[in-house]
Chains A and B, each alone.
Chain A
Amino acid sequence: MARRGDLATNARDGAVFELRSGQFSLMVLAIRHLDLLQLQTDLTDHVASAPSLLRGAPVVLDLNPLSQLADPGLLRELINRVEQAGLKVLALAANAGIEAAAKALGLPILGVDRKRTRLIDAEPVSEIEALNPAPEPAPSEVSGLQSPLVLQGPIRGGQQVYARGRDLIITGAVSAGAEVAADGCVHVYGRLSGKALAGAAGDLRARVYCLSFAAELVSIAGNFKVFESASREVAGKAVEIFLDDGRLEIRPLRI
């Protein structure tokens, strides 16, 4: 009989662990100027305005314009304030002169391509009126992979669905006036007549797919486009929507 400890090991080859590469989309909290009190109040309000999106969310702290924060004491205080406001500081963005402070606080330094980040200021979808109570994402067999939120459509006008930290798959139509959003990709196996938001937490590589395009609005990582009427090339077609150098591209799917 196997002892409990044995279960943790990989049954196939006996290795205790395996290393996998993973890619994650993270929010970057850029501090513009040093006013700790103001920061804490404003940030607390901001988190309260979109709790489902922000509460407990991991962030990378970017101190780019604040060279004086190389002082570990001040930095510790700043991180305290951010965490009291409800965010979790995961790492520091790479900046000149920050290594010593990061080491003192035991935080890793991450390289951030500032050209590829974008401002998150759009009203996040905080109210979720899913058709059925959406189950929490089940931990998948493959580590680090979140199972998508799968809903049977139609998603009707006035309903909002948000798949946090994963893809959203809708079998059926999305009516005019409905909003479907995901941190990952949005797939609609039916007519998309409402609003679709992919990469809601800022993932620029997220995409939107639908079988018949008639959307009111499509947004990818905050880059959105309103369609008063879709062009003939894509109206009613199966399309793929993605960001090409910051511009929203809609392309008929060749199947």
Chain B
Amino acid sequence: MGEIIVVTSGKGGVGKTTTSASLACGFAKRGKKTVVVDFDIGLRNLDLIMGCERRVVYDFVNVINGDCTLKQALIKDKRFDNLAVLAASQTKDKDALTQEGVAKIIDDLKAEFDIVICDSPAGIERGAFFAMYFADRAVVVVNPEVSSVRDSDRVLGIMASKSRRAEQGLTAVKEHLLLTRYSADRVEKGDMMSIADVEEILGVKVIGVIPEAPEVLSASNSGVPVILDEQADAGLAYTDAVARLLGEERPMRFVEPKRKGFFQRMFGG
């Protein structure tokens, strides 16, 4: 039976979809049979970041409504045989989701795949609720700033009280923080919250720190998840996060300010 991982945050624009896409590719690269599901019904984006937007025929809501089989709706990734994408509907809205419908899809995916990644929409409404409801583990994406931290706190609280695991009295959803858009320079200057600040407020350990970098945006625009860019710090940081999610120990990289050389200091870097 596969493991369900929700990627969530509460706040929008913190990097949930970027993270979902990169984690999915990372797990696939490590040999795990992986599927990544877009729960942002009506505002789908995951297909773009994964670079399969022109191959979406059927979507999540079609499967719920019985218009097609789950197999027909799964889009096979061109880079990895063991990776699939289930796109969200662009024409319907989140009211199309029903508890039984979502449960059926999740259970079928769980039987078929090792890892099921649920890409949650922002907010705490229906789509976000269903994305987290079935989760075994949660990767809470948080930016090092106060509003993102507060929203993540709220989402962690909802997960602890309203998830299926909480309702059935099973062991709690395992929580991880993934800090994105992190700038070690700005932390050193005191403009940005540090890893320790965020961990202390939320009481959850950080599983990865993704540095703020221009490669992240260009990777998203070209439909190649940044984890596949082995030159980019952000890509390597995601690779480390995947390894840690698989239980390996990796030292945190890219969390210290870059020391500038003499010429850079003289002439600006």
Residues of A at the B interface (CB closer than 8 Å) are 129-132, 153-159, 172-173, 175-178, 190-191, 193
Contact = CB atoms under 8 A, between A and B. Distances in A.
A159 B161 contact: yes
Given A132-B166, A177-B150, A157 B203 contact: no
A169 B178 CA distance: 30
Contacts of A130: 161
Residue in B154, B156, B157, B201 with the greatest tally of chain A CB atoms within 10 Å: B157
B155 to A, nearest CB: 8
A155 B150 contact: no
Contacts of A175: 153, 157, 201-202
Contact of B150 (A159, A172, A176, A190): A176
A173 B161 contact: no
A131 B161 contact: yes
A153 B160 CA distance: 10
Interface in B88-146: none
Contacts of B52: none
Given A177-B153, A177-B154, A154 B161 contact: no
27 contacts: A131-B160, A131-B166, A132-B161, A132-B166, A132-B169, A154-B157, A154-B202, A154-B203, A156-B154, A156-B156, A156-B157, A156-B158, A156-B160, A157-B150, A157-B153, A157-B157, A159-B157, A172-B203, A173-B203, A175-B157, A175-B201, A175-B202, A176-B150, A176-B153, A177-B153, A178-B157, A193-B201
Nearest to A178: B157
Contacts of B154: 156-158, 177
Nearest to B151: A157
Nearest to B204: A154
B145 to A, nearest CB: 14
B166 A156 contact: no
A178 B161 CA distance: 14
Contacts of B201: 175-176, 193
Interface string B155-178: 011101100001001000000000
Contacts of A172: 203
Contacts of B157: 154-159, 175, 178
Nearest to A190: B203
A158 B156 CA distance: 10
A173 B153 CA distance: 12
The size class of the interface chain B forms with chain A is 10 to 19
A129 B124 CA distance: 16
Contacts of B160: 131, 156
Residue in B150, B153, B158 with the greatest tally of chain A CB atoms within 10 Å: B153
B177 to A, nearest CB: 13
Given A132-B161, A157-B153, A193-B201, 17 more contacts: A131-B166, A132-B166, A132-B169, A154-B156, A154-B202, A154-B203, A155-B157, A156-B156, A156-B160, A157-B154, A157-B157, A159-B157, A159-B161, A173-B203, A176-B153, A177-B153, A178-B157
Contacts of A159: 157, 161
Nearest to A153: B203
A191 B200 CA distance: 9
A133 to B, nearest CB: 9
A131 B165 CA distance: 12
Contacts of B202: 154, 175
A223 to B, nearest CB: 28
A12 B76 CA distance: 75
Contact of A129 (B153, B156, B161, B203): B161
Nearest to A172: B203
A145 B200 CA distance: 36
Contacts of A173: 203
A52 to B, nearest CB: 17
